[in-house]
Chain A
């Protein structure tokens, strides 16, 4: 069964304390893995797309990496404004159609 699992569910960091969020997936024939940021009560904001194992992308304090089984979102020297829920999604052909399968997200809180 196609599945996306994110860990941890919640993460609390001190400002400047670097860490990583994990997204593990089981899909047949990965065609794209997407990272989104979601603030409370808002829609998800697109961050990155990764297509193949070994690929990396960076944006400010965020760096996303991809292997054959998982993706990591590395946060370097986070600031309080990085607090949000981070969602991971993969493209899969499941149930007879192409669709995005989302993980439940990681709630990140960065404290001063």
Chain B
């Protein structure tokens, strides 16, 4: 089945640790995105990539890093520099790079700092 797979579903991070969230898609989509969702707020863009080996910062990139070595994969690392990482993280992808087509989302990773 085609789709976007995020793993793990739940992730716990200790203070000072880096953690990596996985996002894989087999839709042959060009563009991939990472969003953060907090209660009562809209989704906020962290990073996006429109092509392999290229990515751009979104509105809230500080404390996060990404890579795009393969078209299918766009992992997000939450570094120790991110002071408030507890949130629901969503990965999305879309065909082409035009913004007037819909994005499709994975099922999310809930990250909690312990």
Interface residues of chain A, those whose CB is within 8 Å of chain B, are 4, 9, 31-32, 34, 36, 41-46, 49, 51, 87, 89, 91, 95, 97-105
Report if B102 contacts A (CB, 8 A).
yes
Measured CB to CB, the nearest residue on chain B to A103 is B42
- Distance A97 CA – B56 CA, assembled complex (angstroms): 9
Measured CB to CB, the nearest residue on chain B to A30 is B100
Size of the B side of the interface (Cβ < 8 Å), in residues, is: 26
- Contact indicator B99/A91 (Cβ below 8 Å): yes
The A contact surface, by secondary structure, is strand
Measured CB to CB, the nearest residue on chain A to B4 is A43
Instruction: State whether A49 and B99 are in contact (beta carbons under 8 Å apart), knowing that A100-B45, A103-B42, A104-B41 are contacts in the complex.
Output: no
Report if B15 contacts A (CB, 8 A).
no
Given A102-B43, A103-B42, A104-B42, list of 11 further CB < 8 A pairs?
Answer: A32-B101, A36-B105, A41-B108, A42-B108, A43-B92, A43-B106, A44-B90, A45-B105, A49-B100, A51-B100, A89-B42
Q: Across the interface, which residues of B come within 8 angstroms of A97, CB to CB? A: 56
Report if B103 contacts A (CB, 8 A).
yes
Q: Across the interface, which residues of B come within 8 angstroms of A89, CB to CB? A: 42-43
Q: Across the interface, which residues of A come within 8 angstroms of B56, CB to CB? A: 97
- Contact indicator B59/A95 (Cβ below 8 Å): yes
- Contact indicator B102/A46 (Cβ below 8 Å): yes
B102: contacting residue among A9, A41, A49, CB under 8 A: A49
Of residues 66 to 97 in B, which have CB atoms within 8 Å of A's CB atoms?
Answer: 90, 92
- Distance A105 CA – B37 CA, assembled complex (angstroms): 11
- Distance A51 CA – B100 CA, assembled complex (angstroms): 8
Most A CB atoms within 10 A — which of B90, B102, B103? B102
- Contact indicator B107/A32 (Cβ below 8 Å): no
Measured CB to CB, the nearest residue on chain A to B38 is A104
**Closest Cβ–Cβ distance, residue B105 to chain A (whole Å):** 4
- Distance A24 CA – B21 CA, assembled complex (angstroms): 33
